[in-house]
């Protein structure tokens, strides 16, 4: 491909002393500081920049801003690779590496462009109709290919080396948009005394003024004034992508990419801006015309051409056709002719402003009234335009087509709080509806046709916005802006049907034919149209296509445009990277680890740590083995033969106090607690309202009106929230308070045959005999001057005790118990062994209490056989929960030597076809040194309880036979636990 230099010798907002080298698809090119990637590509004569989503048609640059649907590129390499960025918004920097997308093997020769030959088969809704058969499982075959073909660019799989930031900011007046209206609004509000934040997505402020050389002097004057105002801040490279309650704006700010030697800064910063009033000066987007092959490279918006000529000093074409239905397009024609282009104007209106027509002809442009564009010709670029008028069709040779179908105010942000747009026939566009008293619109977004009107509106609403914020200072008039302006007369434009390959949504390849098909098949609502055709669902969110689509559907239905309505505008206005929203909340900063008081000791003494919920817990200790499977078995053996010490500080701990505390617990737990004696503990189970098991734990009665509840580690916050909710809504009359004391207590468990001896030696002042401290008993004392609680509880089947001391004394108590217990072979053990011990005992935990099981499923129905009036009681007695084929808790023993059970395996009865969801599932698995085989807990349909089941683990293509046994694999009588 031969490159053509299309840079004009002068003009533009460029620094011609700084040449910036960059690459596109591996080819090195050069641009200037002040360029975007799009303008630099055009300056180098590159017009083919991508392929379309569905048909892989060649696409070029359509616009000059965030509305760009075609020129999506991938920027960067490795972990910095970011796909689907509009080339029109990428600020050019030295070393920029960009690549085209959605093509193979190359941009110019894309094999998937064969999709265009099957256009009739790929019409709207084709995926709903085509991939449903012939069998029920056919989708599994299609899915791989569909997913492979879907999408545009590819994200990086490498870690992102950059960092992101998030913050809150505050101001009196926020002005979104820095065109003429936004600049004047910011100036007026600041003069009134308000703190002002001016927000601009571009890296230059000025908006459409940057495209008009005659506005340069006025723009520089306003810029200079704002720079001297200490109460004005300007945020460029910042997109306001959402408006939320309380005048809150969500902003994403990109770091300046061309600051050499600067300190390391966040690549993007997410800001929640809280402001007293907002001025929306977001401007308007030019709408494209719809004609055959209107998507070819070289077909551009008229306003974009003007921007490239005047702001970036690029002449995109020499032979230009301008097709329009409004006056603004003439300004583009004037600029093109002045820079040496030959221009043909096809004006579809019966008449145009005489002065404009006369000037265009005087400059040498051919003007054809009552003439529209029917088609563009060319493949990888435009080579001719077919014009259609009163004298028939004529083909005009050209290398660039500019088009203008009117303007769509950028009202998205104003609609994020549910304000419906209003249609204005005089400008053939939707404008914002009635906003709150603290929000204002000015300029093109309000429908203003001229820059002079936008300046006046900006001054007026800036003053009003400052007044809402409490500032009423004197405001001077803005400097006069002397421009040769037009009134922007426009003829209402509606796409004409019957055209071939006439695209409405360029990014999603939605044509007029697709809209007709949707209407014929009943998808006439604009929301249904959007989803059925995917119109407006691309990264551009239909910014250039929505209004044309609405007008086309209105024409098909024979309705006025307002009657068809509009789609719902939701945040974000422009795509936002997930990293920017997350900010610094990634990895361990997303949910900071919680550490137990003994954490440092665990790490220093060889513990392999494991993330469990929000906590770091010892997984296993390397003294027991360097690999988890060997280590946990050794730790299990040691607990069962001698004694083990476990850190249980992570358990949720809740103090429940008040005259009605016992009555409250009696309603919260499915099993009764009102009769619990002081100094005793009880295992309890909570249900949700729907009768499903919520959580289990123990609660100890410390005094008549005071209880100490422990919950599972993972459900601690949920249980506390649930208790508070019940007290606030269900029983506000109960005199009860609940408080989390999880962080106040360090906890440890001593389990094993030697546990009583260890406790007696560690705390000689406390009687821990079987008579004084029986199973589920409580003993209290002191340690190092703080409270000490010892509760005899066991989830492992061994005699065990839970010890609680103040968190500040946790490590001291841990070391003391270890030192005293050394003579009884006491060793620490981790959560892997803890889980294995509870499986051997048949005690249920998180894998069984997974939000789908009932008390009966878990074999606990006897706990509540005669009770009533507890949370979940009514719905727990539904017939469906008593069905004979419902899955119940069982134990499994692996029957095949050399094989193992796996958690998540699907269970089948002998003789079943081994596919589908089976008769149950394995929930927890461990190797049992006591039984010398793999065992597990499972939920199995009661109607297939038998001697044997088949466990299938599809991920590893494993099948193993297992024997169905009691879930209590050892000491079912509890002799060890109670001894």
C-alpha atoms less than 13 angstroms from C-alpha of 664 in its C-beta half-sphere? 28
Q: Could you give the CA distance from residue 793 to residue 751 in angstroms, rounded to a whole number? A: 9
Residue 22's pLDDT band (boundaries 50, 70, 90)?
A: very high
**Which fold would CATH assign to domain 165-284+409-468?**
FAD/NAD(P)-binding domain (3.50.50)
**Is there a contact between 178 and 216 (Cβ–Cβ < 8 Å)?**
no
Q: What is the pLDDT of residues 600-648, one digit of tens each?
A: 999 999 999 999 888 999 999 999 999 999 999 999 999 999 999 999 9
**Which fold would CATH assign to domain 591-880?**
Gyrase A; domain 2 (3.30.1360)
Query: Which pLDDT belongs to residue 498?
Result: 84
SS3 175: strand
The greatest distance separating any two alpha carbons of the chain, rounded to the nearest whole angstrom, comes to 113
Report the relative pairing of strands 643-647 and 826-828 from DSSP bridges.
Answer: parallel
DSSP code at position 259: -
CATH architecture classification, 1-157: Roll (3.10)
Residue 57's pLDDT band (boundaries 50, 70, 90)?
A: very high
CATH architecture classification, 297-404: 3-Layer(bba) Sandwich (3.50)
Q: What is the pLDDT of residues 666-681, one digit of tens each?
A: 999 999 899 999 999 9
Query: Which pLDDT belongs to residue 263?
Result: 57
Q: Could you give the CA distance from residue 584 to residue 156 in angstroms, rounded to a whole number? A: 19
Query: Which pLDDT belongs to residue 92?
Result: 96
Residue 577: pLDDT above 90? no
- Phi first, then psi, for residue 525 (nearest 5°) are -60, 140
Q: Could you give the CA distance from residue 239 to residue 199 in angstroms, rounded to a whole number? A: 7
**What are the structure tokens assigned to 754, written together?**
């030697």
Q: Could you give the CA distance from residue 788 to residue 808 in angstroms, rounded to a whole number? A: 12
Lowest model confidence (mean pLDDT) among 163-172, 176-185, 473-482, 595-604? 473-482
**Is there a contact between 236 and 249 (Cβ–Cβ < 8 Å)?**
no
Domain 883-979 listed as CATH 2.30.110.10: no
Domain boundaries along the sequence of the chain: 1-157, 165-284+409-468, 297-404, 494-559, 591-880, 883-979
Residue 508: pLDDT above 70? yes
> Long-range contact list for 561-565, CB < 8 A, 24+ apart?
561/423, 562/422, 562/423, 564/526, 565/525, 565/526
Q: Provide the whole-model pTM.
A: 0.76
SS3 747: strand
**What are the structure tokens assigned to 661, written together?**
């505390």
Domain 494-559 listed as CATH 1.20.1250.20: no
The answer, yes or no, to whether the previous bond of 134 is cis (omega within 30 of 0) is yes
- State the virtual CA torsion across 511, 514, 515, 518 in degrees, nearest 10: -170
Q: Could you give the CA distance from residue 801 to residue 378 in angstroms, rounded to a whole number? A: 83
Query: Which pLDDT belongs to residue 262?
Result: 52
Quick one: which of 240, 228, 183 has its CA closest to 206? Answer: 183
Residue 116's pLDDT band (boundaries 50, 70, 90)?
A: low
Calculate the average pLDDT of the chain.
92
Lowest model confidence (mean pLDDT) among 291-305, 668-682, 693-707, 937-951? 937-951
- Phi first, then psi, for residue 746 (nearest 5°) are -90, 140
Q: Does 161 or 280 have the greater pLDDT score?
A: 280
Query: Which pLDDT belongs to residue 127?
Result: 67
Average pLDDT over residues 918-931: 94
Quick one: which of 16, 23, 62 has its CA closest to 44? Answer: 23
**Is there a contact between 624 and 829 (Cβ–Cβ < 8 Å)?**
yes
Residue 488's pLDDT band (boundaries 50, 70, 90)?
A: low
Query: Which pLDDT belongs to residue 121?
Result: 61
Q: Does 148 or 502 have the greater pLDDT score?
A: 502
Q: Could you give the CA distance from residue 474 to residue 270 in angstroms, rounded to a whole number? A: 34
- State the virtual CA torsion across 366, 371, 372, 378 in degrees, nearest 10: -50
Query: Which pLDDT belongs to residue 584?
Result: 82
Average pLDDT over residues 200-218: 94
| DSSP class per residue in 74-140 | EE-SGGG-EEEEEGGG-B--TTEEEE--S-SB-SSSBGGGGGGGGGGGGSTTHHHHHSS-SSTTHHH
Report the b/e string of 175-208 with b at 16+ CB within 10 A. Answer: bbbbbbbbbbbbbbbbbbbbbbbbbbbbbbbbbb
Domains 591-880 and 883-979 equal at CATH topology level:
no
Residue 7: pLDDT above 90? yes
Residue 898: pLDDT above 90? no
Query: Which pLDDT belongs to residue 260?
Result: 47
**What are the structure tokens assigned to 879, written together?**
């017939």
Q: Could you give the CA distance from residue 189 to residue 468 in angstroms, rounded to a whole number? A: 10
The number of helix segments (H) and strand segments (E) in the chain equals 24, 47
Scan for tokens 């010490």, then name that residue: 645
Scan for tokens 């419906």, then name that residue: 420
Q: What is the pLDDT of residues 457-482, one digit of tens each?
A: 999 999 999 999 999 999 888 877 77
Q: How many CB atoms lie within 10 A of CB 154?
A: 12
Q: Could you give the CA distance from residue 244 to residue 935 in angstroms, rounded to a whole number? A: 53
Share of the chain above pLDDT 90, in %: 78
Query: Which pLDDT belongs to residue 390?
Result: 85
Scan for tokens 């959605």, then name that residue: 102
Quick one: which of 88, 436, 572 has its CA closest to 285? Answer: 88
């Amino acid at each position: 491909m031969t490159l053509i230099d299309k840079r004009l010798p002068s003009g533009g907002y460029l620094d011609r002393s700084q040449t910036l080298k960059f690459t596109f698809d591996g080819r090195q090119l050069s641009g200037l500081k002040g360029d975007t990637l799009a303008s630099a590509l055009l300056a180098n004569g590159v017009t083919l920049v991508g392929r379309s989503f569905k048909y892989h048609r060649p696409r070029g640059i359509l616009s000059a801003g965030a509305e760009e649907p075609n020129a999506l590129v991938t920027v960067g390499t490795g972990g910095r690779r970011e796909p689907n960025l509009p080339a029109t918004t990428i600020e050019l920097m030295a070393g920029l590496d960009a690549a085209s997308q959605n093509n193979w093997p190359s941009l110019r020769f894309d094999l998937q462009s064969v999709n265009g030959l099957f256009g009739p088969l790929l019409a709207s809704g084709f995926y709903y109709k085509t991939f449903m058969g012939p069998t029920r499982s056919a989708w599994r075959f299609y899915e791989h290919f569909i997913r492979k073909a879907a999408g545009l660019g590819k994200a990086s799989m490498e870690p992102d080396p950059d960092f992101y930031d998030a913050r809150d900011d505050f101001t009196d007046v926020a002005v979104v948009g820095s065109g003429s209206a936004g600049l004047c609004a910011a100036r007026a509000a600041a003069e009134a005394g308000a703190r002002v934040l001016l927000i601009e997505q571009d890296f230059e402020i000025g908006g459409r003024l940057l495209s008009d050389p005659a506005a340069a002097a006025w723009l520089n004057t306003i810029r200079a004034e704002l720079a001297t105002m200490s109460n004005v801040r300007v945020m460029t490279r910042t997109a306001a992508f959402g408006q939320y309650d309380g005048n809150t704006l969500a902003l994403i700010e990109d770091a300046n990419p061309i600051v050499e030697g600067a300190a390391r800064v966040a690549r993007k910063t997410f800001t929640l801006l809280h402001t007293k009033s907002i001025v929306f000066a977001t401007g308007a987007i030019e709408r494209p015309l719809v004609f055959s092959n209107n998507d070819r490279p070289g077909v551009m918006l008229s306003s974009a051409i003007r921007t490239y000529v005047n702001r970036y000093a690029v002449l995109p074409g020499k032979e230009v056709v301008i097709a329009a239905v409004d006056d603004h397009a003439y300004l583009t024609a004037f600029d093109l002719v002045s820079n040496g282009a030959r221009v043909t104007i096809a004006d579809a209106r019966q008449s145009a402003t005489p002065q404009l027509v006369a000037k265009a002809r005087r400059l040498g442009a051919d003007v054809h009234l009552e003439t529209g564009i029917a088609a563009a010709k060319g493949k990888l670029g435009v080579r001719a335009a077919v014009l259609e008028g009163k004298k028939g069709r004529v083909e005009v040779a050209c290398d660039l087509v500019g088009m203008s179908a009117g303007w769509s105010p950028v009202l998205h942000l104003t609609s994020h709080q549910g304000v419906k747009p209003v249609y204005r026939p005089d400008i053939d566009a939707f404008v914002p509806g009635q906003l709150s008293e603290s929000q204002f619109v000015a300029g093109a977004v309000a429908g203003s046709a001229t820059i002079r009107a936008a300046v006046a509106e900006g001054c007026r609403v800036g003053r009003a916005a400052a007044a809402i914020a409490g500032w009423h200072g004197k405001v001077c008039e803005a400097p006069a802006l002397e421009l040769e302006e037009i009134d922007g007369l426009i003829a209402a434009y509606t796409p004409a049907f019957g055209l071939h390959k006439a695209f409405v949504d360029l990014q999603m390849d939605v044509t007029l034919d697709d809209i007709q098909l949707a209407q014929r098949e009943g998808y006439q609502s604009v929301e249904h149209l959007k989803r059925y055709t995917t119109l407006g669902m691309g990264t551009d969110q239909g910014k250039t296509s929505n209004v044309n689509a609405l007008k086309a559907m209105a024409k098909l239905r024979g309705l006025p445009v307002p009657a068809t309505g509009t789609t719902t505008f939701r945040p974000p206005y422009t795509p936002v990277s997930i990293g920017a929203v997350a900010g610094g909340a990634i990895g361990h900063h997303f949910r900071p680890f919680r550490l137990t008081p003994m954490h440092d000791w665990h790490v220093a003494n060889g513990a392999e740590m494991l993330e469990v919920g929000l906590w770091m817990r010892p997984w296993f200790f390397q003294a027991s083995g360097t690999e988890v499977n060997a280590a946990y078995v050794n730790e299990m053996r040691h607990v069962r033969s001698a004694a083990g010490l476990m850190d249980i500080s992570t358990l949720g701990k809740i103090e429940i106090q008040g005259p009605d505390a016992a009555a409250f617990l009696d309603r919260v737990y499915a099993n009764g607690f009102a009769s619990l004696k002081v100094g005793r503990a009880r295992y309890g189970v909570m249900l949700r309202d729907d009768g499903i098991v919520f959580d289990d734990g123990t609660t100890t009665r410390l005094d008549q009106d005071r209880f100490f509840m422990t919950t599972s580690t993972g459900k601690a916050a949920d249980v506390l929230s649930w208790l508070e909710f019940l007290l606030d809504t269900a029983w506000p009359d109960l005199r009860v308070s609940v408080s989390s004391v999880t962080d106040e207590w360090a906890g440890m468990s001593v389990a094993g045959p030697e546990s009583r001896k260890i406790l007696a030696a560690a705390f000689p002042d406390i009687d821990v005999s079987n008579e004084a401290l029986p199973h589920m008993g409580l003993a209290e004392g002191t340690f190092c001057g703080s409270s000490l609680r010892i509760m005899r509880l066991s989830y492992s089947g061994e005699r065990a005790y839970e010890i609680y001391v103040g968190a500040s004394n946790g490590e001291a108590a841990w070391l003391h118990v270890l030192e005293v217990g050394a003579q009884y072979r006491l060793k620490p053990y981790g959560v892997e062994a803890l889980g294995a011990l509870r499986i051997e005992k048949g005690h249920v935990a998180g894998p069984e209490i997974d939000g789908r099981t009932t008390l009966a499923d878990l074999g606990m129905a006897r706990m509540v056989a005669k009770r009533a009036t507890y949370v979940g009681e009514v719905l727990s007695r539904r017939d469906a929960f008593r069905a004979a084929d419902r899955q119940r808790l069982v134990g499994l023993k692996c029957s095949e030597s050399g094989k193992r059970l796996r958690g998540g395996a699907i269970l089948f009865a002998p003789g079943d076809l081994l596919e589908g969801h089976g008769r149950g599932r394995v929930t927890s698995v461990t190797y049992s040194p006591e039984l010398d085989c793999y065992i597990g807990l499972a939920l199995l349909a009661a109607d297939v309880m038998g001697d044997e089941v088949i466990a299938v683990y599809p991920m590893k293509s494993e099948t193993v036979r297992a024997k169905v046994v009691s879930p209590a694999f050892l000491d079912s009588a509890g002799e060890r636990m109670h001894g």
